[in-house]
Structure 1
């Protein structure tokens, strides 16, 4: 069981990394800003908690969902 937990943890880390990098490219943000936006999002909480098995979805889809459904996170982005 411990091995499965490790695999899940690594998978979630890789997913988060992909989301942050894709968000940075799509919105032309510095990685640090993209990381800050991601970590303040509902999406980050849902992935951490495993809500709706959202962590099994494609990172591009999840990033677009974040952009469309959490526009308040981008208000101070120039």
Structure 2
């Protein structure tokens, strides 16, 4: 559980920095994404992937 929380925080921070948006806006984008649901459910071991790759995928495919 702690690992997932750290993963989510890393993804959100990366989104905020990469997109030059407020942390709160990045949280909203992340938590409303398909990626957040996949990580929460542990779908296909997605929570074991690198946060930068996950964040880039989110940017490319959902934003």
TM-score when normalising by structure 2: 0.98
Matched length: 63
Q: Which structure has more RCO (C-alpha within 8 Å, separation ≥ 6)?
A: 2
What CA RMSD, in Å, does the superposition of the two structures yield over aligned residues? 0.4
Deviation of the 1:35 alpha carbon: 0.2
Runs in 1 of length 4+ with deviation above 6 angstroms?
none
Max radius of gyration: which structure?
1
Q: Which runs of 5+ in 1 are unaligned?
A: 1-8, 72-78
State the TM-score, normalized to the length of structure 1.
0.80
Structure 2 unmatched runs, 5+: none
Partners of 1:37 and 1:64 in 2: CA distance: 13
